[in-house]
Chains A and B, each alone.
Chain A
Amino acid sequence: MNLLGSLRNRLIAGLGLLLLLFLALVAAGIGSLRAVNRAVSNELASLVSNSALVTDLVGAVADEVRAGEAYLATPSTVLALEFLRLGDSSHAYRRRFRQVAGLSADDQSALNRVESNQARMEVAYARAHAFRDLGHLDEARTEAAAARAPADSFVADVRSLTRRQQTRVSASIAAIGRRARQREVLVWLLLAAAIGLGSGTAWVTVRSIETPLYQLIEAARRFGEGDLRPLELGTMPAELATLARAMGSMGTRLRTVIESVIRESRGIGMSASDLSAMSEELAAGSQEITRAITAVTASAERQVVEVRGADQVIAAWRESAARDATTAERVVAEGEQANALAQRHRDELAVAGRGLAALRQAVQTAGTQTRELTRRADAVAELLDLARQLVSQSEVLALNAAVEAARAAGQGEGFSAIAAETRRLTDASREATARIATRTETLKEQIAALEATRQAIAAQALKVESTTQRSTVALAEIARATETMRENAMQVARSASESRGIAGRLAELRERLEADARENVAANESVTAGAAEQSAATGEIATAAAGLLEASERLAALVAEFKV
């Protein structure tokens, strides 16, 4: 896999390298500055610390010497302890000095001598103090004097140490300076290398982009001039290679398209000619169709008129049938009414016959009863005679009773009452007998009249009965005749109904014929319009064909400029 095969990676690599160089340069510069700074700081801190330690050490030893000398002058426990304490302090300073970094073996030996001399000095003073305490002043002075030699050596060694430290610090500073100069040179070298590498990187990067870019520009220019022949491009960065492939692909497709256009323009030219010829033929056909359609339309219109005439005939027929049907129905109704009337009269005549028979029977029965009634009226007249006799006897009885009552005077009151009552009864019976006699006479008169009436009725009934029987026979015949008439009328009605149905179906047929005729007319109109449009379109096609022919000629002229 070529990591630098794309523009992006080349740019990233170039810029990354430049950035790394820059960072390295900065890091080197900063590192150098920090290293120098740190070294200088360390050396200065060491110098300060060592100087302080030396100062403290020398100061503590000087104080120790002063305390030792003071004890010799005026011995005291305080001074003895002070001498001891200062000795411990100076030893502590020296130990700290020993821990200073970077001491050489000579420094360590010098420190050993410092310690030794300090120890000798302290022992000398301690012994001097002991002699002083014991009162041996000469020995004390001798010991104290002996302390001066190690003290001098101590000072000399400390100075030597200090000088060595100063020398070491100077050497260190010089070394730092050298390192700083070396780093400066290094930084300059790095800068020069960075500039060189950066320039080289930039040149390589630009070249690696510029060359294939120019090739692509040239290829694009060729395309612009219509030269669509295949591109011959070398190795390129991935992105430009993609672009080159796209341009190549585009050129190939354009070539294919142009070739197709040429072929198609030729085909279009021929097709346009064919189309023009076909449009002319189509126009001629359209005219013929228009004419045929016009004829069909006229025929359809005539058909409509004729159908409308048939429709009028059918309507008349339907009205006649309707009237026949109505008449038949009325005949049927009247027949039925006549039949029903005849039937009813026949029934009434039968009933009247039966009534007349019953009347005759009743008249006969009434004769019998009249006679019985007459007989009974006679019996009543006999009873009236008896009653009249009874009343006469009652009046005799009442008169006798009244005579008896008068004879009996006061003891005859009962006969008097009976006589009274019998008289009132006789009176009442007489009055009743009179009224009955009156009524009986009336009754007899009425019975006689009745009998006369009965006889007249009986005679009339016989005549009526005879008439009724003849009427019944006539009515039966009428009924049969009306039944036959009704059936015939119903047959007429059914025929009229059937005629009306046929007329209705004929009307429906006529409506359909009319609708078809109208549709034919409409279709003919549409066909006519279509034919007109077709004719117009044919004209347009012809125009378009002409335009197409011109366009194909222009297209052929255009693509003729491309190199494929």
Chain B
Amino acid sequence: MKRVCAGAIALCLVFGCNSPQGPIRIGLAGPLADAVGRPMRLAAEMAVAEINAGGGIEGRPLELSERDDAGDPDSAVQVAADLTRLGVVAVIGHVFSGTTLAAAPIYADAPAPVPVITPSSSAPEVAQAGNHVFRLCPTDLEHGAALATWIRSGLGLDRGAVLYLNNPYGRGIRQAFVTRLEAMGGVVIESDPYLGATPDVGPYLDRIAASGTAQFLVVAGNREDATVILTQARARGITLPVLGGDGLEGIEAAGSLAEGVYATAAYLPGLDTPENQRFVRAYRARYPEAGAPNQPAAASYDAVYLLRDVIRARGATRRDIREGLAVLGDELPPHQGVTGVLAFDGRGGLARMPVLISVIRNGDVALAKRP
């Protein structure tokens, strides 16, 4: 009997099979407790609740197995190993490129590779993480390029400094931005790395202020460190326009510090598509205290529904899901989601995902430029 049970467990680990009649278990991984990851968790739970309220998938309910990686690659590795052992059929996560890249090999090395849908890991290297990794956002290359184009074409500036979070995301935004800006005739007078959520970028800011030639300041990092940098900059009297990638999403929470900050975005709560308006209304109604959903939230919401469609079309095993996701937009029809029309190219990225430019005006996120 023990052998039978051990065999069943082994089969379950190998094929990622939940009980054929039981719930379909999906992993959710990310910094679920912080300002970036919490909306993601809420939106995913809302999607699962909606689907289960409609009878689940072929009568089987969805079940989320949530694991918090705190945005840390080491934690992400542990989370990945944990979710793989748990036998989830797919994982929605991780949020950051560093955590996704750290966890991807763990998912890939499982006897049946776990398909991963990351809502917001935009580093270009994610495309090389394996054919089991899919993402629902533009890459850093697209964000960085869109930011440089906006600076040159929208703002008419050509000279500035870049402060970047020294991780894959920050480096990716910086490299893409510098490449496109220099291609458009702009000059980056300095590129300075920083660490953590509370960086000390004083020396850089002093040098920028001392040079006096910078027309803009790009912060290639996340919302928390951008807030700190803004504080330090304003403290030094630096009033240069501050711009950033999609990591600055939610920067409006910094109040007046964030006023006038431009940021690239794959999603804005104010998008006027019917799907987004319905999603935002439902989200606000379900979580009135949570504020507006962010891009990881919208993309995770889309990811849950995407998995539902693929499982219905192909089956509930890891292999079925991975193969179904690979042909989304080809053999399977594209998914009309909150973030747009979702279809994958041959490397797990979105075939088409526009990059928006947002600006904080009067404390609110406004659309500065449509693509």
Binding site for B on A (CB under 8 A): 80, 84, 87-88, 91, 95, 98-99, 102-103, 105, 108-109, 111-113, 115, 119-120, 122-123, 126-127, 130-131, 133-134, 136, 139
Contact = CB atoms under 8 A, between A and B. Distances in A.
Given A130-B192, A134-B207, A119 B167 contact: yes
B196 to A, nearest CB: 9
Contacts of B78: 105
A121 to B, nearest CB: 10
B50 interface: no
B166 A130 contact: no
Interface string B146-169: 000000000000000000001110
Contacts of A87: 193
Given A119-B167, A123-B195, A98 B101 contact: yes
Given A84-B191, A119-B167, 10 more contacts: A80-B190, A87-B193, A95-B125, A112-B77, A115-B167, A123-B195, A126-B193, A127-B203, A130-B192, A130-B203
Contacts of B168: 91, 95
Contacts of B128: 95, 99
A109 B206 contact: no
Instruction: Indicate the size class of the contact surface on chain B.
Output: 20 to 34
Nearest to B165: A119
A114 to B, nearest CB: 11
Contacts of B327: none
B263 to A, nearest CB: 23
B76 to A, nearest CB: 9
A108 B104 CA distance: 10
Contact of B166 (A80, A111, A123): A123
B147 to A, nearest CB: 18
Contacts of B129: 99
A136 B210 CA distance: 13
Nearest to A133: B207
Contacts of B167: 115, 119
B77 A109 contact: yes
18 contacts: A95-B128, A95-B168, A98-B102, A99-B129, A102-B109, A108-B105, A109-B77, A112-B77, A113-B74, A120-B195, A123-B193, A123-B194, A126-B193, A127-B203, A133-B207, A133-B210, A134-B206, A134-B207
B287 interface: no
Nearest to A127: B203
B265 interface: no
B105 A130 contact: no
Interface of B: 73-74, 77-78, 81, 98, 101-102, 105-106, 109, 125, 128-129, 166-168, 171, 175, 190-195, 200, 203-204, 206-207, 210
A307 B150 CA distance: 160
Contacts of B192: 126, 130
Contact of A103 (B105, B125, B193): B105
The DSSP consensus for interface residues of chain A is: helix
Closest 4 CB pairs of A and B: A130-B203, A119-B166, A112-B73, A108-B77
B166 A122 contact: yes
A532 B128 CA distance: 124
A130 B206 contact: yes
B204 A108 contact: no
A32 to B, nearest CB: 24
B102 A112 contact: yes
A65 B182 CA distance: 26
A455 to B, nearest CB: 176
B112 to A, nearest CB: 16
A95 B169 CA distance: 13
A392 B102 CA distance: 216
A127 B98 CA distance: 23
B190 A108 contact: no
A87 B193 CA distance: 11
Nearest to B166: A119
A87 to B, nearest CB: 8
A87 B167 CA distance: 12
Given A99-B128, A123-B194, A105 B73 contact: no
Contacts of B73: 108-109, 112, 115
A108 B102 contact: yes
Contacts of A130: 192, 203-204, 206-207
A126 B27 CA distance: 39
Contacts of A126: 192-193, 204
Q: Which of A98, A99, A130 has the most CB of B within 10 A?
A: A130
A502 B194 CA distance: 170
Contacts of A105: 77-78, 81, 106
Contact of B195 (A88, A102, A111, A119): A119
A122 B170 CA distance: 13
A289 to B, nearest CB: 115
Nearest to A143: B203
B210 A95 contact: no
B77 A131 contact: no
Nearest to B124: A95
B99 to A, nearest CB: 10
A44 to B, nearest CB: 21
A120 B193 CA distance: 9
Contacts of A95: 101, 125, 128, 168
